[in-house]
Amino acid sequence: MSNIILFLSSVIALMGIYALLTLAVNLHYGYAGLLSFGIVGFAAVGAYTYAIVTRGAPVGEDVYLFYFNQPWWVGFLAAGVVTTLFAFIIGLPTLRVEGDYLLIVTFAFAEVIQDLLSNEGWLTNGTRGFINIHLPFRELIPGRNYTLILAFLIVVIVAVVYLIAQRLGTAPFGRTLRAIRDNEPAALAIGKSVFSFKMRVFLLGAAICGFAGAMYTWYMTLAMPSIFGMSVSFAAWIALIVGGQGNNKGAIVGTIVLLGVQQAFKFISLTPDMAPIISSIQLIMEGLVLIVILRFWPRGLLPEKSPRPPKPAITKEAI
């Protein structure tokens, strides 16, 4: 029984991390129409920032030079800050290009980041990566039950980010983003500084990815170049399309559906020789989920909802 609970809490933790990435894709694409595929690149930057900031001195064959020995929350905040700085540098030239070009540039960014992680050993410890990641509250809960705490912590963070995304989405800020997405020249013609809006939402989404990256190292207990492959970006995108673009609830629901299907297969891989078969079927299943959902819910499970108009203030004449 307790095994099942531990398995479920690790599933919930993973779902939470992906939910953050999907919320970020929703801010970028669902609200602002930015074809941003660099999600995993930002997550990698966040993860490695966390690892380096919380790291102790190198041992054995470790080759990294920088370590700061800080508590987890310093690393966590640093992950957000450094990722935002990265996004600013990436965004300055790329947000001026539109549509498909932005997609190519952000895609390339994520690939370059992964290569840098493998090759710049002095900073990232190369392909060995960082193992034994410093985990929050680890001292308090030794042993296997730690997964429960981790799941709880992640759920709380997801809830906070969801509320922030929701607040932004329903505010005039979100409305202007959707206007820019729908018709950029018209947004310029009513005086909106399109670049500033794109940049701000780009930074916000990237920061969320940075935090999610740090959390991913908690979940994996390590940071390695190989876990930051393009498949992470694709999963977040599929989750958003399944759940519904332009809808934060949809982003969460899409993640639960997609990862639910994925993890259900892990659950039935009972014997070791079945594992490779199951892991190949898992990819087929991801595609199948996407096709089935798009067949029956072309705009996703929870499509973008038009907000209700605010009630006009009661005028003096009415009183």
Interactions with another protein, residue window 175-204 (CB under 8 A): 175-176, 178-179, 181-183, 185-194, 197, 200, 204
Among 4, 311, 318, 319, which residue sits at the site for another protein (rule: CB under 8 A)? 311
- C-alpha 36 chain-centroid distance: 12
Q: Looking at 153-161, 210-218, 264-272, 306-314, which segment touches another protein (CB under 8 A)?
A: 306-314
Among 140, 268, 313, 319, which residue sits at the site for another protein (rule: CB under 8 A)? 313
Give whichever of 1 and 190 is closer to another protein, judged by the CB atom: 190
Closest separation between CB of residue 194 and another protein, Å? 7
Binding flag, residue 4, another protein (CB under 8 A): no
Helical (H) or strand (E) element with 131: strand 130-131
- What φ, ψ does residue 131 adopt, rounded to 5°? -105, 175
Binding flag, residue 310, another protein (CB under 8 A): yes
Q: Looking at 82-90, 248-256, 268-276, 309-317, which segment touches another protein (CB under 8 A)?
A: 309-317
Q: What distance in Å separates the CA atoms of residue 242 and residue 255, rounded to the nearest whole number?
A: 8
Burial class (CB in 10 A: 0-12, 13-18, 19+), 130: buried
Closest separation between CB of residue 35 and another protein, Å? 17
Q: Assess contact for 49 and 78: CB atoms under 8 A.
A: yes
Q: Assess contact for 32 and 180: CB atoms under 8 A.
A: yes
Give whichever of 143 and 312 is closer to another protein, judged by the CB atom: 312
Binding flag, residue 90, another protein (CB under 8 A): no
How much is the CA Rg of the chain, to the nearest whole Å? 21
Q: What distance in Å separates the CA atoms of residue 244 and residue 251, rounded to the nearest whole number?
A: 6
Q: What distance in Å separates the CA atoms of residue 25 and residue 33, rounded to the nearest whole number?
A: 10
Which residues contact another protein (rule: CB under 8 A)?
164, 167-168, 171-173, 175-176, 178-179, 181-183, 185-194, 197, 200, 204, 246, 304, 306-313, 315
